[in-house]
Chain A
């Protein structure tokens, strides 16, 4: 084709395509309802451009402002959607946007809002460069001269901010995904940046690398199982849409092998992200090896997001098959609570301790999931909020207690901390009490709500196991508190640095929410039950 022939041929082709019966008509894209996610992804992409074009000294401030601004905007937008009369007109449970790929409903919006706020706090921790826990030059081998130069120059990988935003975007999409393909893509979008971020610790870099690789290999392994489960469900129903799977499951009872294989394998993939026993083995290692702000992000946002996805899949797609998956999930919930609580007793590292506590808490949330009722859903949502804020605050405190070489991770270093800096030790003790579920903390309210919902659904045995493992868990939390307040300080004990505005905000918000949800939980409880009143859209 030369000269004038080319445009003419193109035009002819275009008219042909437009008039052809198979011409693609673009699907409606509800930008206003996808806004929160688009804002976060957009901020991440702008962040990449900042990396490319902004001068190095300006990058950190720009990235921090961009990330925090994007997350704040996403939160405001989420609230606006939740309050919108248009989406939830006439008691509608919500809307499936962009060709049914994304569900916009109240539980999802509640989860997304929680994720955005928790991510905001985690980004504050990431942005605290005073004792940056991130490596100066990831490409330089540990101990190399290039690493020393990077440390001396105060270099920082500001790519961490866009990576975090990508992960947060994936986390927001994960519970909103209304078909399994979108959910799989979201799972990868949230996982890949986290794999990378895990390997960027400044100190004990070999441990950090190992954490990244372990997380990556096991994560890829579990996502392969998740994918095979999707394949089975697709084979069962001929579609990956959650609603289509549910309707096929209701009508077609002949081909249950594929369906059950699909439920088991997708469940396995989701339970891995949550860290339920027996898919928990990555959690302690990864939590210990990752830089503490990234651990805070994973412990709060990833868990919330994965529970959102689990709730959506099991309530929407497998909602009619409660009797089939409930026993299996029951066993997993019991195992998760008991194993998490028992193994935590033997831990000597603070971050590992919190990792096992996170496993145990996943078991408590599973109790709420197992209730399979609006009360169960709302209690699980409330628990996720309560746990998320407490854990972010606890990890923020860990960043403050420092040895000359880095954070004082080993529990023995924390001995007598209460005498040397009573405020920080007191706040940490308060978080631990919240984890243990002592009254006047959010942990108590959350556990109470979850157990109440479970009993209402006739899961009394599960609640008994839950209460017993809470008691076991309380033992080791109290042990740490005793260690901090009633044992002699170690001679060259860790220094407690004064929190600056970033870590101070993180600790403060965590503690305030933990206290508030313990004393006056009603607003959030009613918000959660309002959100859960209408289940997920299908």
Chain B
């Protein structure tokens, strides 16, 4: 495939030219879609489309190695990382980050489009030479050619990218790894702590079904007073202290209209539990 595509770039066959135009249109359309669609997941998928188009174009231009690196590393790893984070954060999470970048949207768009026109005109006028004729270094010798350059001319930047990768790993560790400062409490510790606290069993469950099927209703202690600790601390416990109604079988429990108006009445199976 790549061998065929890399045949040449000036005297390309009609087929290769067709491939270029299809890919170019798809890439630009996907890129435009990327900045127009609203959801981050769709953006990532559009970016994947662009990247795959570019990978094919690398192959067409005599860069088979880059084509595969583009697919494996860029599309396969980098973009997946994006997708992981998008999935982790969720779709709605993006909103909280908004205020940090204040972009004057219209002015920015206009300026960029102006720059685009300017650059496009410039590139149109630029005398970019014809492509080099096919040679082994765009095919079978591509990998060795790249390797030679990496280990001779560009050996120092190549080594320095090591610093970059270490930085990335270290940075991700710093921001994501939570070190445990105190040792994790064992079962024995937890038990001892519980005994020391004086409350051996857990907090009582809320008084669901006593009158209402809602978790904000405190349970009642044997003396009839509400147990505040039975309601989760994130809820406001209703401190209605009316005594539990004793509901006899066959009788419907009376519900206060004040706070229970909009609620569904407790199911009769549950109301029976109030008397037990």
Contacts and interface: CB of A to CB of B under 8 A. Distances in A.
A68 to B, nearest CB: 19
A173 B160 CA distance: 9
A453 B144 CA distance: 50
Nearest to A98: B156
B151 interface: yes
B171 A163 contact: yes
B85 interface: no
A516 interface: no
Interface in B24-58: none
A258 B125 CA distance: 10
Given A199-B175, A257-B126, A214 B100 contact: yes
Interface stretch (A23-31, A335-343, A499-507): A23-31
Interface stretch (A132-140, A292-300, A471-479): A132-140
Nearest to B177: A139
Interface stretch (A108-116, A179-187, A390-398): A179-187
A168 B121 CA distance: 41
Contact-residue size bin, chain B (C-beta under 8 Å from the other chain): 35 or more
A98 B119 contact: no
Which of B144, B154, B157, B166 is packed against the most chain A CB atoms within 10 Å?
Answer: B157
Interface stretch (B178-186, B204-212, B236-244): B178-186
A98 to B, nearest CB: 5
Interface string B125-165: 11110000000000001001001100111111100110110
B168 interface: yes
Interface string A10-28: 0000000000001011110
Contacts of A255: 126-128
Interface string A174-203: 000000011001101100110110011000
B167 A192 contact: yes
Contact-residue size bin, chain A (C-beta under 8 Å from the other chain): 35 or more
Contacts of A24: 147-148, 151-152
B155 to A, nearest CB: 6
A137 B181 CA distance: 10
Contacts of A254: 127
B200 interface: no
Contacts of A29: 155
A182 B167 CA distance: 17
A157 B181 CA distance: 12
Contact of B155 (A27, A162, A166): A27
B123 interface: yes
B173 interface: yes
A77 B215 CA distance: 71
Contact of A159 (B119, B174, B181, B182): B174
Contact of B167 (A146, A193, A260): A193
A48 B163 CA distance: 11
8 contacts: A29-B155, A99-B154, A146-B178, A153-B182, A166-B167, A169-B163, A255-B128, A258-B128
Interface of B: 97, 100-101, 119, 122-123, 125-128, 141, 144, 147-148, 151-157, 160-161, 163-164, 166-168, 170-171, 173-179, 181-182
Interface of A: 22, 24-27, 29, 34, 41, 44-45, 48, 51, 98-102, 137-140, 146, 149-150, 153, 155, 157, 159-160, 162-163, 166, 169-170, 173, 181-182, 185-186, 188-189, 192-193, 195-196, 199-200, 210, 213-214, 217, 235, 254-255, 257-258, 260-261
